[in-house]
Amino acid sequence: MIWNEAKECMSRDEMQNLQSKRLVKQVSYVYHNVEYYRKKMQAAGIEPGDIKGLEDLTKLPFTTKNDLRDTYPTGLFAVPRSQIVRIHASSGTTGKATVVGYTRRDIEIWSECVARVMTMADLTNEDTIQISYGYGLFTGGLGAHYGAEYIGATAVPTSTGNTKKQLAMMCDLGVTAICCTPSYLMYLTEAIEEQGLLPQLKLRRSINGAEPWTEEMRKQLEERLHIHAHDIYGLSEIMGPGVAGDCEFHKGLHVNEDHFLPEIISPETFETVDDGVTGELVFTTLTKEGIPLIRYRTKDLTSITHEKCECGRTTARLSRFKGRSDDMLIIRGVNVFPSQVEAALLEMGETTANYLMIVDRVNNLDTLEIQVEVDEKFFSDEIRELENLTRKIAHNLQQALLIQPKVTLVEPKTLQRSEGKAVRVIDKRKLV
């Protein structure tokens, strides 16, 4: 099944025409409604009239997370607050969140995009879909929820945590599909196996995203749960989950190209690279009202193909993500930057700013340990004092990162340094 055949299966010519028209309109909209963009375009010597179609896209300057930080919280919004019906936020690079806003129409387009991805995963109004993504500022929960309702399915908003309740809902309501991070589904799988619940389940599909995962992990989930597992991609800056998703053939993620224009660039030269070549994914929103972004650098590394898929869709497809072009980590679906840890430690001033982040996956759940060097000045011979310090560091880091780290105190100067540059992150998770 295809949710919106008119859009998802249009010829490449038609799609490019539509994208051209929408790009011209979006650029003009941004220029006239967002002062920051107007100044940026003026600085680059560009007027909306210079952008006549897709061929002029590369004339436009890039947008990065820094632009969102510099205009925190709502400087890139193109509409007055009265037209914003929802806010979401994700982590920024230095502790300040990246805030995004949606108009009523944005929410509807987002729901449409998630609906398309859910339809790719063979879901219909006959399905009962458990949404085990976090509900809140994170886009995962509400994004998937609105998509599920949009296709007329029964949404079960369990959010994250409380495994016992998750499993009870899954069994008792005959849940047929689940949306959550792949690592959380792995975790649930183990619990299901331990309790021998598999025969009671009606689960047949899963839609997993918000963190990188591998083909092997997909196979494992499919075999162990007797389901088909689908990939979903998105980021709050562009919309949230549903920017792209994969169909039953699992040959890349179909981009909802009529709303989000993808480019792949070389992170070094910023030149567009050919289809099939890995580079950084860049998106321009084509229909966004709340916070339209021009050439937003996602920092995600992937490649693209414009060939027609066996499923009949003609939309461009992204290959499996190969990592990031910056140092951002995705831990339990949450974006984490090492610089946030440094900022939080420096702000406290009771330890050195030397730290080591150790990311691991234990029982299929991401864990984050942060080793912090004890500062001789704040060293106490009372364990109680050191434990208080550990707790305080853990608390401050949790406030900054939005996930709970385990804090371990270590001796000064024990944290590794290589080639003069400190090693800040050890990621033991085996991915890609």
Give contact residues for another protein (rule: CB under 8 A). Answer: 374-376, 379-384, 386-387, 408-414
Interatomic CA distance for residues 397 and 251, integer angstroms: 39
Cβ of residue 298: shortest distance to another protein, in angstroms?
37
Cβ of residue 345: shortest distance to another protein, in angstroms?
16
Interatomic CA distance for residues 343 and 348, integer angstroms: 9
Q: Which is nearer to another protein, 13 or 381 (CB)?
A: 381
CB burial of residue 408 (10 Å; 0-12, 13-18, 19+): middle
User: What is the secondary structure of 239-255 as a DSSP string?
Assistant: TEEEEEEE-TT-SSEEE
Q: Which is nearer to another protein, 247 or 407 (CB)?
A: 407
Cβ of residue 359: shortest distance to another protein, in angstroms?
18
Q: Taking the CA atoms of 379, 382, 386 and 391 in sequence, report the sign of the dihedral they define.
A: negative
Q: Which two tokens stand for residue 298?
A: 């996602």
Q: Which is nearer to another protein, 50 or 387 (CB)?
A: 387
Q: Which is nearer to another protein, 17 or 408 (CB)?
A: 408
Cβ of residue 389: shortest distance to another protein, in angstroms?
11
Cβ of residue 350: shortest distance to another protein, in angstroms?
13
Locus of tokens 């994700």 = 90
Query: Minimal CA–CA distance to 133: which of 109, 161, 112?
Result: 161
C-alpha distances (whole Å) from 160 to each of 177, 223, 265, 282 are 15, 23, 35, 30
Q: What is the DSSP letter of 61?
A: P
Cβ of residue 332: shortest distance to another protein, in angstroms?
22
Q: Which is nearer to another protein, 98 or 352 (CB)?
A: 352
182-194 and 163-172 helices, crossing angle to 10°: 80
Q: Which two tokens stand for residue 136?
A: 């809140």
